[in-house]
Amino acid sequence: MALITAARERLAPVSPDGRTPGPAVLAAALVLIALQLTVRSLLAFRGEFYWDDLILVGRSGMHPLLSFELLGYDHDGHLMPGGFLVAGVVTALAPLQWWPAAATLVAGQALASLAVLRVLWLLLGPRPALLGPLLFYLFTPLTLPSFAWWAAGLNSLPLQAALAWVAGDAIRLVRTGRIRYALSGTAVTVVALLFFEKSVLVPAVAFATVALMYRLDGRRRPVRTAAVRGAPLWLGSALSLAGWAAAYPSLVESRFGAPTADVVRGLTHHGVSFGVLPTLLGGPWRWDRWNPGPPWADPPAGLVVAAWAAVLAVLVWSLRRNRRTGWVWAATALYVAASTAAMISTRFGPDTTYELAQTLRYHTDTAVVVAIAAALILRAPSRGDAPPAQPARRLVAAGCAVTFAASSLWSTATFARTWADNPTGAYLAAAKSALTARPDMPILDHPVSVWVLLPVTHPHNLLSRVFSPLPGRAEIGAVTTELQVLDDGGRLVPAGLVPVRHVLPGPVPDCGHLLTASTTTVLPADTALVGGEWTVQLNYRASADGEIEVGFPAAPRVRVPVTAGLGTVYARVPGAGTGLQARSASAGLDVCLAGGPIGVVVPR
């Protein structure tokens, strides 16, 4: 009992006038959160859709909100039904409008920030020292890249909130024994798993927080005590993880691999030295970018050296000044190592550059872990009698806080400038205007600008996918009578067909290739075509209005409307082969086809 009383006295200090500083600390913490949300709102609402965001929007426009096709989709190794649900709701309310997506980012950040304040309060009580770890979490640039990018934020913000909230629930559970904290912590873990598979680490962080808290408080057998007193939460979490583990491998293709030692060393060094550590001092100050890729941290060499020196200095200081803090450092390092290992094993490849590790989004949640670790170290008992805080020490602490905040805000400003170099917003605005200007004129489906989505995202980079939720637009499909394409600026411009092969003239005099409903006619090409998405120009004479079918052998056929008399129509046909196959798809319709080019459509 004496030990518990002493801990309570240490965590609830009294000011010289006999009052506790709780209300003032809480007010200061809420002001800091308000400032953070103001800064993040400026960043979010000045942003725009980017890369994967358009995949989420496109799939939301193609599939019903609660369909398995939308919620159960394997998105580049992520099983994120929660993220797709949010994207689906946002898309249904305001198709291809950025402001509601930005609002979800700010709302998610508010939840995460309040959850971090809660767990810090539970660990430190109403101590002014609480403001240090909170300030770090709120303003560290470590969380910037994943916050600004909507698709990444839908993964990382629920994870950040869950890490802090479930750790707080675990503390409340072991202190009060109330089962509602086990139910709450389990429910939050389940929700986090719906957004990001890395949420499997949430219960582990919560357990480590409780066990380390007990160890710092001098409890005997801290691990055993944490396991027993928090058993309802650990059991609920284990059952939730078991259910998730049963579903995940059957829905998501494994991306895990075994990289070489050189790749591991390179990505680890770049991720930790150039990525995580400079953000501990408010860095990296500078960002670089190869459009259309995301920004990455580009810290000066001096900042990297200073970050390593600062971490080592704080490590030595904490081990010399506070007892039993070694395990806190070890647990934090283990979390960073786990995040690094997950990034390397799932994202490495022959074309992977080390700058990938400097994008920071693979370590975003580390900010929560570092904040908790800092609170635990501040909670740790001093070696011997701790001297009262001197004005000079308070002044140094305030100076460090102001310096960190200024450094972080500068990094935020430079990131915002780099992030603004995103052509997607202007492209979407021009494209939406162009696609709705003539809704009666069908447009041949084709990829969006490579500055918006690269071909590696095919078929998600097609106009029909990206603009699927846009109301009042022209039909985007496989057939048109007027070749038009969106240029890199999103403007609809006339296009031409660049021939790669030609359909040879047909054998029927004054007709060419005769198409009837009873027979499939072969349209031989001058040379075989390899697999791809090809456009064929069909010059025809039809006996009546109707439809024909055209396609490569063993590939889906395209239904092409024709009108009575002479006409020209363009059809987009996927596949490969030595020629096309065609037939009339309407009873009583006969069509004569002449030879024509097969190729690719480009702006004139």
**What are the pLDDT digits (tens) for 269-286?**
999 999 999 999 999 999
Type and span of the H or E element at 393: helix 391-419
3-class SS of residue 469? coil
pLDDT given at position 348: 76
Q: Are strands 443-444 and 476-477 parallel, antiparallel or unpaired?
A: parallel
Q: How confident is the model at residue 178 (pLDDT cuts 50, 70, 90)?
A: very high
Structure tokens at 20: 């506790």
Per-residue model confidence as pLDDT tens digits over 114-129: 999 999 999 999 999 9
Domain boundaries, the chain: 2-419, 424-485, 497-603
- Sign of the C-alpha dihedral, residues 270, 271, 272, 276? positive
Mean pLDDT of 142-160: 97
Mean pLDDT of 404-420: 97
pLDDT given at position 322: 87
pLDDT given at position 291: 85
Q: Please check whether residue 381 is in contact with residue 256, taking contact to mean a CB–CB distance below 8 angstroms.
A: no
CB atoms within 10 A of CB 191: 15
**DSSP secondary structure letter of residue 12:** S
pLDDT surpassing 80 at residue 459: yes
pLDDT surpassing 80 at residue 183: yes
Cis check for the bond before 459: say yes or no (omega within 30 of 0): yes
pLDDT surpassing 90 at residue 95: yes
Could you tell me which residues are beta bridge partners of residue 577? 529
Write the CATH number of the domain with boundaries 497-603: 2.60.120.260
pLDDT given at position 115: 98
Cis check for the bond before 292: say yes or no (omega within 30 of 0): yes
Question: Which residue type, as a one-letter code, is found at position 25?
Answer: V
3-class SS of residue 536? strand
pLDDT given at position 20: 62
Q: Please check whether residue 55 is in contact with residue 457, taking contact to mean a CB–CB distance below 8 angstroms.
A: yes
% pLDDT > 90, the chain: 85
Per-residue model confidence as pLDDT tens digits over 470-529: 999 999 999 999 999 999 999 999 999 999 999 999 999 999 999 999 899 999 999 999
Structure tokens at 68: 């398995």
pLDDT given at position 19: 55
Per-residue model confidence as pLDDT tens digits over 18-61: 456 788 999 999 999 999 999 999 999 999 999 999 999 999 99
Per-residue model confidence as pLDDT tens digits over 186-242: 999 999 999 999 999 999 999 999 999 999 998 989 999 999 999 999 999 999 999
pLDDT surpassing 70 at residue 8: no
% pLDDT > 70, the chain: 96
* CA–CA separation, 446 and 464 (whole Å): 8
Q: How confident is the model at residue 372 (pLDDT cuts 50, 70, 90)?
A: very high
Structure tokens at 371: 């904040």
Q: Compute the residue count for the chain.
A: 604
> What does pLDDT average to over the chain?
92
Mean pLDDT of 376-382: 91
Mean pLDDT of 258-272: 90
Mean pLDDT of 87-112: 97
